[in-house]
Amino acid sequence: MPSRPIRLFVAAILLALAADAYSQERLLMVTEEWPPFRFAEAGGPAGLGGLDIDLCRRLEKLLGVTIEIQVHPWPRALEMLKSGQADMMTGVAYTAERAEYLSYVPTPYFSVTPVFYAPKGKGALVRAYEDLVGQSIGQSKSTAYFEPYNSDSKLTKITLGSEAQILQMLALGRIDLAIGTDPNISYDIARLGYRGSLERTVFQPAVKTDLRIALSKRSPAASLVERMDEAIRSLVAEGGIEAIAAKYR
């Protein structure tokens, strides 16, 4: 039987060969629309364009992989990652629950901030977190915002399918407030023509949410976390992420 040092040496070689072979594999990314990071665009991969899609094209070149993109509702996409049916996802905020089945790339590639919107003329009515109590707040089912909001059972939260739907409900007076993440919600407000009818509340949480790429722990792609982190750090340092983001401001 080979000695332990030899066995370890052979194992290291096999791992290196596997990683090199894997560099030519196809990764399945699952996601949903979330402008300006991912939005419908004719001719784009899976019919999508946006910041995240441009980022994936850069990562393909840096890592020597092909990233196939499929569009699914967010809960379904998470289930596919949990089971290992899919390999990766962009734009993921960290939660302890997700960390049970996702390996997060350590370096975030972007950050978003939670913001509240009210009908025009009513933004000054919400000056502190406590002013949210008693208000009906439209929120997205797929977004983790900030604490204590996420876990606050005293608040009246109306969960809807998208920020576009939330804004429509707010403009129609069917909810009192909308919570979203910036730049996403600002992009949607401008795109949908709500600049004249909605305004930010005085209260704005002084927090930010880092967005990361996450890989399924049940996928062989989980071995790419370190290499993907190096690629993200390189893009951030050279201004590549900022150049991509500038296209969508």
DSSP string, 7-31: HHHHHHHHHHHHHHHHTTSEEEEEE
Tell me, what DSSP letter sits at residue 94? P
Q: What CATH class is the domain 112-200?
A: alpha beta
The residues spanned by each domain of the chain are 4-110+211-246, 112-200
Could you list the pLDDT tens digit for every one of the 249 residues in the chain? 555 445 444 444 444 444 444 444 899 999 999 889 999 998 888 899 999 999 999 999 999 999 999 999 999 999 999 999 999 999 999 999 999 999 999 999 999 999 999 999 999 999 999 999 999 999 998 788 999 999 999 999 999 988 889 999 999 999 999 999 999 898 899 989 999 999 999 999 999 989 999 999 999 999 999 999 999 999 999 999 999 988 887
Kindly write down the DSSP assignment for every residue of 28-72, as one continuous string.
Answer: EEEE--BTTTBEE-TTSGGGEESHHHHHHHHHHHHHT-EEEEEE-
Judged on CB neighbours under 10 Å (0-12, 13-18, 19+), 183 is: buried
| Per-residue confidence (pLDDT) for residue 3, from 0 to 100 | 54
- At 212 the three-state DSSP class reads strand
| Per-residue confidence (pLDDT) for residue 14, from 0 to 100 | 42
* For residue 148, cis peptide bond before it (omega within 30 degrees of 0): yes
The reply to whether the predicted model has a pTM over 0.75 is no
Asked if 71 and 33 touch (Cβ cutoff 8 Å), the reply is yes
Identical fold between 4-110+211-246 and 112-200: yes
Tokens standing for residue 218: 């049940």
| CATH code of the domain occupying 4-110+211-246 | 3.40.190.10
Alpha helices in 118-224 (DSSP H): 163-171, 184-192
| Per-residue confidence (pLDDT) for residue 100, from 0 to 100 | 97
Judged on CB neighbours under 10 Å (0-12, 13-18, 19+), 113 is: middle
Tell me the one-letter amino acid at 74.
Answer: W
